[in-house]
Structure 1
Amino acid sequence: MQLPDTSLFQSVLFFALSAAGVWIAGARLAYLVDTLADRFKLAKSLMGLLVLSLATSLPEVATTLTAAIQQARDLVLNNLFGGIALQTAILAMSDFWARSPITNYPRKANHALEATLLVLLLSVALIVVNLGETFVVGGVGLGSVCIAMIYAGAIWLLRRYDDSSDWVPIDLPDPDPLSFPAPTGLGKASNKTLIWQAIAACIAILGLGLLLVQFADRIATQSGLGTGFIGVTLLAAATSLPELSTSIAAVRIGAYTMAISNIFGSNLIMLVLVFPADILFRGGPILQDTSRTVSLALAFGLAVTSIYLVGLIVRRKPKIGAFGLDSILVLLLFIASLAAYYFVR
């Protein structure tokens, strides 16, 4: 759907209004998924990985496929890979609402395994981007096919590992939920009502997310900053708003494992979206002849994920105030990434 013409000020205004709507819908979705996990006695880490991450990634899915159809290679890759460091920084920001460093809470190695598999996928993508697609069939590169296959194997392994208890940390912080007023009515609502509300929240996130994308693209053109810089900053931030609102909401009600799996799961989805985008992009393999921004985004994604992997393994880590050192380092590295993107734009 083509929207009416707007000025730069109007584009920024409508962008902000759409962002506010996504924020509200994302927070509501976090409460609903948490309640459904309790009702059906499902692990919250699994709900975060398979349900919440998929729901909050709907704007990325729509943006990626639309941009691929429009043959906008840079917009596709900058949005996907630029969003990885940003969404990891979102997890660092949500650390502010936790009682202690957020990476101290997981009681199993699930999240460390999620981070490890994410590092693997990022490494494969970076190798393909720098080496180039050496084997191409029907315009689709072997690299994007490998990424899709590794993703499928990662989800299978994570699902199988969910019930494992061969790695049990000790001296953990209090797991009880924070004293935060949850939305009224959820405890008394029927399962059917909760599910329908969750579907409505997903639809709102998708619809408003698409508006965010269109206005972000207009701001890129009207401001003269270009789709490269905008793709890894404003557009990535726009499509990552659901992750931000859901993660903060989850941490505030004490669903720490769901918040962590939400971010890692969303980042895994960002990488696997390269495969359908490669199919829709008809200008050759989508990971071929990419810009410097793409390689930088993958490298920064590797760095911030590795920091959190260390944080998940090292239980007694230094902290500054309520923040864990790992979260502080992730935020600093994300700020550095913005400067790097602007430098090579």
Structure 2
Amino acid sequence: MDFWQDLPNMALLAGFGLAALVVLLSGLRLTAIADRLADRTGLGEAIVGGVLLGAATSLSGTIVSITAALDGRASLAFSNSVGGIAAQTVFLAVADMFYRRTNLEHAAADLGNIFQGLILIVLLGLPFAALTTPEVTVWAVHPVSFAIPLVYVLGLVANRQIQQAPMWTPVQTDATRTDESEEEESGSGASTARLFATFAALMLVMGAAGWVIAKTASALIDRMALSESLIGALGTAVVTSLPELVTTVAAVRRGALQLAVGGIIGGNTFDMLFLTAADISYRDGSLYHAVTMPDYFWIVTALLMTGVLLGGLILRQRRGPGRIGAESVLLLLLYGGAVAVQVLA
């Protein structure tokens, strides 16, 4: 901790920026690998996007929350998690702008993504359950932190069952893009094992970058007397979410629409595991009772944005204002309004 506190402001900002660049560049490689693994393993774009790609691009954010909690920074650890969910959801509205054929949510119809979104709403409600109940802990960990990974795993099992034996499917239209296997590019015939190894190596690099981001952000918060909630939700959360923005837009441009939507929703559900990791790392009691209302404000924002997104996936509007879906417009307005409230508060 002393090492980071002794660095000048310019060195801290440079370290923060360099780590952000590493996260961004590492994330650039993940989409193509995840798309090929979806074809190789036969799991499908929605499952691979929701689990493999979502977990990988979220790793740097996980490290930020754990590091902040170990340093006793409850608000930074908490807001980094839930602020990232709001930021990543609005990335789908940005991606919608890059898909000009029709509304992205119409073309990427997939039951697995809708179900994963419902699981996310349940997970987002659990911190409120912790807040409105007595501050009871087991080994300094609130029981809700044990419930979050349980719900997450059960959701994955149920989602896999839905993919294998769906009880209903979205109506196929001339604008619906299905999950199709693509031909291997010339010179890209790497083995499946090598693809997984490359994927794992990129995850380690992103994890190291996340640690640097947490340390430099903590030092800057102390140096400049900044709000942990503000920096967590709009600083570290957005920076560590940059891979999701890049991979989502890249996936849309490649035509892997279900992978794009699944990567965002899956990454958001995985981000809820940040809270369990942070609560375990926070040794001063329940993390959910140590944070402030501005931190919970971002859970409310994430809940509203997830509801709007699910509405768009079910309604499947073909065209909306500005040739994007009406839900994309609402997502942009909700996030922009949340940022304004947080900054002006």
1:194 matched residue in structure 2:
195
Q: Quick one: distance in 1 between partners of 2:36 and 2:17?
A: 29
1:74-89 equivalence runs, <5 A: 74-89=75-90
Spell out, residue by residue over 1:183-233, the C-alpha distance to the aligned partner (whole angstroms, 9 max, x if none).
975633333443333223222222223223333333333443232211111
Query: C-alpha offsets along residues 226-284 of structure 1, whole Å, 9 cap, x if unaligned?
Result: 32211111111122122222212211211111111111111112212322322222211
Which residue does 1:18 correspond to in 2?
A: 19
- In 2 relative to 1, CA 145–174 (structure 1 residues): closer, same or farther, beyond 3 Å? closer
| Alpha-carbon distance, 1:134 to partner | 4.8
Q: Give unmatched runs, 5+ long, in structure 2.
A: none
Secondary structure, counterpart of 1:316 in structure 2: coil
Distance in 1 (alpha carbons) for counterparts of 2:187 and 2:342: 43
What is the alpha-carbon distance in structure 2 between the residues aligned to residue 212 and residue 134 of structure 1? 30
What corresponds to 2:225 in structure 1?
224
- Find the counterpart in structure 1 of residue 170 from structure 2: 168
1:118 to partner: Cα distance: 0.8
CA RMSD of aligned residues (A): 2.5
**How far apart are the structure 2 equivalents of 1:313 and 1:249?**
24
Match of 2:107 in 1: 105
Matched to 1:168, the amino acid is P
Counterpart CA distance in 2 for 1:18 and 1:275 is 24
Residue matched to 2:213: 212
User: What count of residue pairs does the alignment treat as equivalent?
Assistant: 339
Does structure 1 retain, via aligned residues, the 8 Å contact 2:106–2:316?
yes
Amino acid corresponding to residue 125 of structure 2 in structure 1: S
Mapped to 2, the partners of 1:149 and 1:4 lie a distance apart of: 38
Cα deviation, residue 121, structure 1: 1.4
Contact kept, 8 Å, 2:69 with 2:282, in 1: the verdict is yes
Question: 1:112 is matched by which residue type in structure 2?
Answer: I
Q: Tell me how far apart the structure 1 counterparts of residues 7 and 333 of structure 2 sit (CA, whole Å).
A: 35
Change (3 A) 1:60 1:214: same
Matches within 5 A, 1:150-299: 150-165=151-166, 166-173=168-175, 175=177, 187-299=188-300
AA at the equivalent of 1:115: G
Q: 1:116 aligns with which of 115, 118, 127?
A: 118
- The residue type equivalent to 2:128 in the other structure is L
Instruction: Name the structure with the higher helix share.
Output: 2
List per-residue Cα deviations over 1:36-66 (Å, max 9, x = no partner). Answer: 2223333011111111011111112211222
Identify the residue that residue 65 of structure 1 maps to in structure 2: 66
Contact (CA 8 Å) 1:82, 1:232: kept in 2 or not?
Answer: yes
Q: Label 1:187 to 1:174 Cα distance change in 2 as closer, same or farther (>3 A).
A: farther
What are structure 1's unaligned runs of at least 5 residues?
none
Identity %: 27
Residue 57 of structure 1 aligns to a residue whose secondary structure is helix
Bigger shift: residues 323-332 or 311-320: 311-320
> 1:3: Cα distance to partner?
5.1
Q: How many Å separate the matches in 2 of 1:108 and 1:78?
A: 30
Q: 1:128 to 1:176 in 2, by over 3 A?
A: closer
Would the aligned equivalents of 1:132 and 1:287 in 2 still touch at CA under 8 Å? no
Corresponding residue number in structure 2 for 1:314: 315
Q: Is the 8 A contact 2:22 2:209 kept in 1?
A: yes
Shift of 1:317: 5.2
User: For residue 8 of structure 1, what is the aligned residue in structure 2?
Assistant: 9
Q: Retained in 2: the 8 A contact 1:35–1:187?
A: no
Offset at 1:14? 3.4
**Which residue of structure 2 lines up, in the alignment, with residue 139 of structure 1?**
140
The AA in structure 2 aligned to 1:104 is H
Query: Would the alpha carbon gap of residues 4 and 71 (structure 1) be closer, same or farther in structure 2, given more than 3 Å must change?
Result: closer
Matched residues in 1 for 2:78 and 2:145: separation?
A: 12
Kept after mapping to 1: 8 A contact 2:23/2:60? no
What is the distance in 1 between the residues matched to 2:178 and 2:46? 15
